[in-house]
């Protein structure tokens, strides 16, 4: 059976007296999450996004549950690893909060205006990191986890941490040097931009979707934002909103950055110009 290896891993670590943690990508597994929440005591789960700068996104963020191998919900997840619902970690008894805090410190990656959320809850992200990291980097990445068990696309893998414990975030985390980290940053921006337009500009966004693929348009607009370093909330919202007014038109020449102009100066100049044109033709 394809899920015999993770089940054996769960039993082994349970017998060793460890706590078994399910790292659940709850945005795609809301039904399982709600069932687990209903059947768990308050000390048996935590929202990773809770008590962080992205606490308002907790409903779409990962949850960590302490689980039992006999739970029917766990068995259901094991039966469908291709749905990429998350992964398991073994931690010392009572150390689940430390494990969650470890990942909270690693959630927001990059410097402004290039910040994004690191999707550690995605088993594909974990698998890619562990495939490329040297063993000596495992403690900084896995923290209090004694061992982790995850689906890596074709089979189950179980990886042990040589030195579990509390570790500081390295100045230059090796796991963020992987190509996937950049891909995940764009994925996060796409999701956030999509939500922003649904919430603030639903009618115009719906009209756009009738004329062209909104994901293609969003990606092109975000690539423009990256080129100009307009990834902070205000410049990005401004660009999305104004591009939505005339999604098929080329930007007017004054939108382009001028030599020697930093991103803040560039944004402020274009913003002021847009105020002049407010009520006229989109520029």
pLDDT digits (tens, 9 = 90+) for 99-138: 999 999 999 987 766 678 999 999 999 999 999 899 999 9
The DSSP secondary-structure symbol of 211 reads H
At which residue do the structure tokens 């764009």 appear? Answer: 186
* Cβ–Cβ < 8 Å for 63, 46: yes
pLDDT score for 186:
81
- Domain range for residue 265? 183-277
pLDDT digits (tens, 9 = 90+) for 60-84: 899 999 999 999 999 999 999 999 9
pLDDT digits (tens, 9 = 90+) for 109-119: 877 666 789 99
Give the pair of three-digit tokens for residue 23: 């790292």
At which residue do the structure tokens 């308050």 appear? Answer: 42
Write the CB contacts of 78 (distance below 8 Å, at least 6 apart in sequence).
Answer: 3, 6, 7
Looking at the structure of the chain, the number of domains it has is: 2
Does 17 lie in the same domain as 105? Answer: yes
Distance, in Å, from the CA atom of 138 to the CA atom of 118, rounded to the nearest integer, reads 17
Residue 283 lies in a domain: no
The DSSP secondary-structure symbol of 46 reads E
Taken in order 92, 94, 100, 105, is the CA torsion positive or negative?
Answer: negative
* Cβ–Cβ < 8 Å for 147, 90: yes
pLDDT score for 181:
57
Residue 39 lies in a domain: yes
Residue 50 lies in a domain: yes
At which residue do the structure tokens 């098929």 appear? Answer: 248
Distance, in Å, from the CA atom of 60 to the CA atom of 247, rounded to the nearest integer, reads 29
Does 135 lie in the same domain as 155? Answer: yes
At which residue do the structure tokens 């115009």 appear? Answer: 204
Q: Which helix (H) or strand (E) holds 182?
A: helix 179-200
Mean pLDDT by 10 residues, the chain (283 residues): 81 97 93 95 96 90 95 94 96 97 93 80 94 94 98 93 95 80 75 91 92 90 90 90 87 88 91 74 41
* Cβ–Cβ < 8 Å for 125, 139: no
pLDDT score for 99:
98
pLDDT score for 282:
41
Residue 66 lies in a domain: yes
Backbone angles phi, psi at 156, to 5 degrees: -80, 140
Does 212 lie in the same domain as 138? Answer: no
Does 128 lie in the same domain as 22? Answer: yes
Distance, in Å, from the CA atom of 213 to the CA atom of 235, rounded to the nearest integer, reads 23
Residue 40 lies in a domain: yes
**Among 124, 143, 171, which residue terminates a domain?**
171
């Amino acid at each position: 059976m394809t899920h015999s290896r993770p089940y054996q891993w769960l039993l082994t670590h349970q017998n060793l007296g460890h706590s078994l943690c399910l790292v659940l990508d709850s945005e795609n597994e809301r039904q399982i999450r709600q069932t687990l929440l209903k059947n768990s005591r308050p000390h048996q789960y935590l929202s990773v996004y809770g008590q962080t700068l992205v606490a308002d996104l907790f409903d779409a963020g990962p949850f960590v549950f302490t689980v039992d191998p006999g739970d029917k919900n766990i068995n259901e997840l094991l039966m469908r690893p291709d749905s990429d619902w998350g992964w398991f970690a073994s931690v010392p008894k009572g150390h689940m909060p430390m494990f969650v805090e470890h990942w909270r410190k690693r959630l927001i990656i990059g410097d402004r205006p290039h910040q994004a959320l690191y999707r550690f809850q995605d088993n594909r992200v974990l698998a890619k990191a562990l495939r490329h990291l040297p063993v000596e980097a495992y403690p900084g990445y896995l923290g209090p986890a004694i061992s982790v068990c995850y689906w890596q696309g074709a089979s189950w893998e179980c990886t042990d941490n040589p030195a579990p414990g509390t570790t500081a975030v390295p100045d230059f985390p090796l796991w963020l040097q992987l190509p996937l980290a950049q891909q995940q940053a764009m994925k996060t921006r796409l999701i956030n931009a999509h939500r922003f337009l649904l919430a603030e500009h639903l009618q115009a966004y719906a009209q756009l979707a009738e004329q062209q693929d909104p994901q293609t348009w969003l990606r092109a607009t975000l690539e423009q934002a990256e080129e100009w370093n307009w990834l902070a909330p205000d410049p990005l919202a401004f660009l999305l909103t104004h591009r939505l007014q005339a999604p098929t038109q080329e930007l007017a020449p004054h939108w382009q950055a001028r030599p020697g102009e930093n991103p803040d100066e560039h944004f402020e100049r274009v913003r002021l110009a847009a105020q002049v044109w407010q009520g006229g033709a989109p520029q």
